[in-house]
Every structure is written in C-alpha cells, then in structure tokens.
Amino acid sequence: MARFSIKRYLPRSLYGRAALILLVPIVTIQLVVSFAFIQRLYEDVTAQMTQNISVELQLLLDIVESAGNVEEAATKLVQTANALDIDVTFPGADVQERRRFTDLSGRAIRETLDQQFETLRAVDLVSLDKTVQASLETSKGVLEVAFSRRRVAVSNPHQLLVLMLFTAVLMTVISYLFLRNQLRPIRRLARAAEAFGKGRNEPYYPGGALEVRSAGAAFLNMRARIERQIEQRTLMLSGVSHDLRTPLTRLKLGLSMQPDTEEIKDLIGDVDEMERLIEAFLDFAKADAQEELERADPIALVKDLVANAQRSGKSVELAGEIPDAVDMKLRPLSVRRAVENLINNAVRYGTVAQVEIAVLETALRISVEDNGPGIPEARREQAVKAFSRLDASRNQNAGSGVGLGLAIAADVARSHGGTLRLGDSDHLGGLKAELVLPR
C-alpha cells in the first residue's frame, strides 16, 4: 500500500518553501478572524438586533388582536407604527419570500423572525433597497410591515474585512521584499557552487545573514583547497613526465647506435612504450589544467576528429543524423582530448567504431561505440579510475595501455559539469561510452 507523502506537493526551491512558510500563517489567521467576524457580526449581532425589533412587532400584533374590528386595529396601528418608525399595511398583501444566496445577515434575520413569530408567513429582503418586508398572520388578516435594514444589521460590515485584506496584502508584500533580500545571498552562493562544479570560477563574495556568510566563507576555502590540489597534481605529473624524457632520449639514442640485433629492437620497443606512457601522463595532467572556457562548436570538433581518424586508417564513422552547428561554452582542447581518447579506445579494443552526436534540450551527448568485448557492468566504475587497466577482459592483441583514456574523458566531463556514462552498444555489441556535457 502506497504511503501518502506531502513532500511531493511542496515547492522544491528554498524560495518557494520560504514563501509558503510566510503565507500559510497569514492565510490561516485571515480565515480564522474572518470566520469569527462573520459568526459574531453577521449572525450573533444580527440575531440580537432582530430580537430587539421583534418586541416592537409583537406590540403591533397585540394591538391588532386587542382591537374590536379591522378599522379600529388599522387606526391604532398607524399611530403606534409612526412612533416606532415602522411602515405598516393592514390588512396587507402576502409578501413573497426573497433573499439573496450571499446575504448572510439576511439568513440570520429570517431565522430569528421565524423563531419569534409562529405566524410569520414570508420575509422579503430584495424588493426594496435596504428595507426588510415581512407579512404576519393575525386573526383579522395579514399584517404587512416594513422597516429599515439598518435596524437589524450592522451598516457597512465589509469595511473590517476590506481593512483586514488590505493589511494582509501590504504585510505580505513587505515580507516578500524582505524575504527576497535574505535569499539573494543564498542564490549567489548556489550559482557560484554550480559554476565551480561546471569548471567555471565565478567571482563570489560572502554576504547576507551570519549563517550564510559562514557557508560562503567555507565554500571559498573549499574552492581554494581544491584548486591548489589540482594545481599541485598537475605540476607533479607534468614535472615527473618531463624529467623522464631526457634519460629516455639518451637511452633511445644509445640503443640506435648499437648493432641491429633482435635484443636491441626489443629494447627500443620498450623505450617507445615508455614514451607513450609518458605522453599519457602528460595528457592526464593537461586534463586537470584550467583551460579557459570559450565559445566553440562541438559538432565541428567531433567531425574533425572522425575525419582525422579515418585519414590515419582507423575504421571510424559518424552514425545517425548529424545536428546543425551548436554554439557552446566549453574547453575545446580538453573536449577534443576526451573524444579522441574514446575513439582510440574503441579502435584499440575493437575493429570498428561509431560516433554519434545528439543535441538535447539541456545537454550535448557524444556517443562512441565499438565491437570489442566491452566492460562488465560490475567493473565500469573501476574502469574510469586513473591507472586502472582491465585488459584481462579486453583485447589482449591490442597491447597494454596505461589506463588513463577513460579517466581523462571522465575528468573532462566533470570539469564541464557533465558526466561519462559506460554501457553496452546496441549496434555493434561492444562498449558504448557517452560523454554528456551541459549546454
């Protein structure tokens, strides 16, 4: 049995929830006060005032019943009714029952008169403006009375409601402006954190309430530590890889001067493999370098990489419908390096590779598929880690790599606020790598 949860109906943003916290008490107070006002003023006070005039109407009924005939009753009624400021007609006609549905005080008048007089026939609250008409049954005929509505109901009762509504709206607007002022620093902090997650370093200065300032200062310290760590790792990898090139060059030069034997060829191959590993280390270090964001067309970039791969003899093709040019803010060299690594991995562990580009509403997806053995689902998370090699499950004939291709692509995706997803290829049966970059 599904459990009911109110969370699904609540606003997701802090601004919406804060506004809800502000509005719910105000609306609740308005409803409670309005109900009490209507209950007391429209019902209790109206009923009390109607009971007061019922005494005067009862006097008129007593005059009719005590008179000897209709003429005597009519004469006495006129004198007394003038003194009471009540219009009477005797004998009169039946009054039609009329009352507006929204007339709350009219309902209280009708109910009170009905309780006071068993001989009440009808009450008309509509025909004459601000006048109550009623017909009462007597032993000598129908007594028709009319009196001012102000004698049984409070005049202008809506003024209090209007004043309450105006005050509530005014205070809501003031609270809204104050709330927006308080939430603005939180929004700036959220934008700065989101931008940093996408690889952008937006200027940010802590502001707002004390707690928001503390959170902002903690974010700045965290951002600075992450930047220092990235810089130190980049410098370390670049320095080590650069320093290793000199002795490798001397080794290669020395080996090239030796007799051309099988052992020397194997040693030269080992040196070449070490150079390729160093190039991979440098690529990994460059992936962390803070390249500036700029406007570029990733569609043209991918098409150029596929064309270069085809010229070098690799079996790579663009699949699906090629989208039109897209203008995005990205780091072109980093994206080029990531896609190139995915293509190289595809043709390294397979024989055919397909590249597909999809422009989504909020992201750009670059998919690279191959017909190789793929990567088991349980080991895909390990595959994107640096220096992780899964050659036991891949093509051993392609040679051993250093395990940085997918790690570089994943780092590039994260630096843009995107992700690298690994799955199974539906078309070729091997690995499918998707580089997703937000637009």
pLDDT, tens digit, for every residue of 301-341? 999 888 888 888 888 888 888 888 888 888 888 888 888 88
Residues 309 and 367 in one domain: yes
Cα first-last separation, the chain: 41
Q: What is the mean pLDDT of the chain?
A: 80
Asked if 297 and 284 sit in the same domain, the reply is no
Helix 210-256 to helix 158-197 angle (10° resolution) is 20
Q: Tell me if 216 sits within 8 A of 207, measured CB to CB.
A: yes
pLDDT recorded at residue 362: 84
Is 50 exceeded by the pLDDT of residue 396?
A: no
Tell whether 231 is covered by a domain.
Answer: yes
Structure-block tokens of residue 134? 């009623």
Structural tokens at position 87? 């219009």
**Whole-number pLDDT of residue 241:** 67
Residue ending a domain, choose from 270, 290, 310: 290
As a whole number of angstroms, the longest Cα–Cα distance in the chain is: 154
Taking the model in full, what pTM does it have? 0.51
pLDDT exceeds cutoff 70 at 385? yes
Sign of the Cα torsion 385, 389, 394, 397 reads positive
User: For 217-251, b where at least 16 C-beta lie within 10 A, e where not — what string?
Assistant: eebeeeeeeeeeeeeeebeebbeebeeeeeeeeee
Asked if residue 280 belongs to a domain, the reply is yes
What are the residues whose beta carbons fall under 8 Å from the beta carbon of 350, sequence distance 6 or more?
370, 371, 372, 395, 428, 430, 431
Mean pLDDT of 6-11: 71
Q: What is the pLDDT of residue 397?
A: 40
Please give the tally of structural domains in the chain. 3
User: Structural domain of residue 200, as residue ranges?
Assistant: 189-290
Residues listed for the chain: 439
Asked whether 387 and 402 are in contact (CB, 8 A), the reply is yes
Distance CA 50, CA 64 (A): 21
Pair (274, 298) in one structural domain: no
- Tell me: do 219 and 250 sit in the same domain: yes
Distance of alpha carbon 171 from alpha carbon 220, whole angstroms: 36
The contacts of residue 216 (CB under 8 Å, 6+ apart) are: 185, 189, 204, 205, 206, 207, 208
Is 149 in the same domain as 286?
Answer: no
- The radius of gyration of the chain from alpha carbons, rounded to an integer in Å, stands at 44
Of 128 and 238, the one with more pLDDT:
128
Torsion, CA 335, CA 340, CA 345, CA 350, rounded to 10: 130
Which tokens belong to 406?
Answer: 């997918």
Percent of the chain with pLDDT over 90: 4
Say if residue 194 is in the same domain as residue 58. Answer: no
Task: Tell me the pLDDT tens digit for each residue of 47-94.
Answer: 888 888 999 999 999 888 888 888 888 888 888 888 888 998 888 887
pLDDT at 38 over 70: no
Q: From CA 285, how far away is CA 238, in angstroms rounded?
A: 6
- In this structure, are 197 and 316 located in the same domain? no
Q: Is residue 184 part of a domain?
A: no
- The residue ranking higher by pLDDT, 354 or 403, is 354
Residue where one domain finishes, among candidates 290, 311, 345: 290
Strands 353-359 and 316-318: parallel
Contacts of 371 (CB under 8 A, 6+ apart): 350, 351, 352, 425, 428, 429, 430
Domain annotation covers residue 380: yes
Q: Dump pLDDT digits (tens) for 16-26.
A: 777 777 778 87
Give pLDDT tens digits for 398-437: 444 556 778 888 888 887 878 888 988 888 888 899 999 8
Q: What is the per-residue pLDDT for 284?
A: 61
Over residues 287-299, the mean pLDDT reads: 73
> Of 251, 314, 256, 244, which Cα lies nearest the Cα of 280?
244
Same domain, 399 and 299: yes
Count CB atoms within 10 A of the CB of residue 50: 23
142 and 17 in one domain? yes
pLDDT tens digit sequence for 168-216 = 788 878 877 887 888 888 888 888 887 777 667 778 888 887 888 888 8
Q: What is the CATH number of the domain that holds 325?
A: 3.30.565.10
pLDDT of residue 146: 92
108-113 CB contacts, 8 Å cutoff, 24+ apart: 108/42, 108/43, 108/46, 108/47, 108/50, 109/46, 109/50, 109/152, 109/153, 111/47, 112/46, 112/47, 112/50, 112/51, 112/54, 113/50, 113/54
Is 32 in the same domain as 148? yes
Domain boundary residue among 102, 134, 155? Answer: 155
**Residue 372 backbone dihedrals phi, psi, to 5 degrees:** -80, -170
* 422 belongs to a structural domain: yes
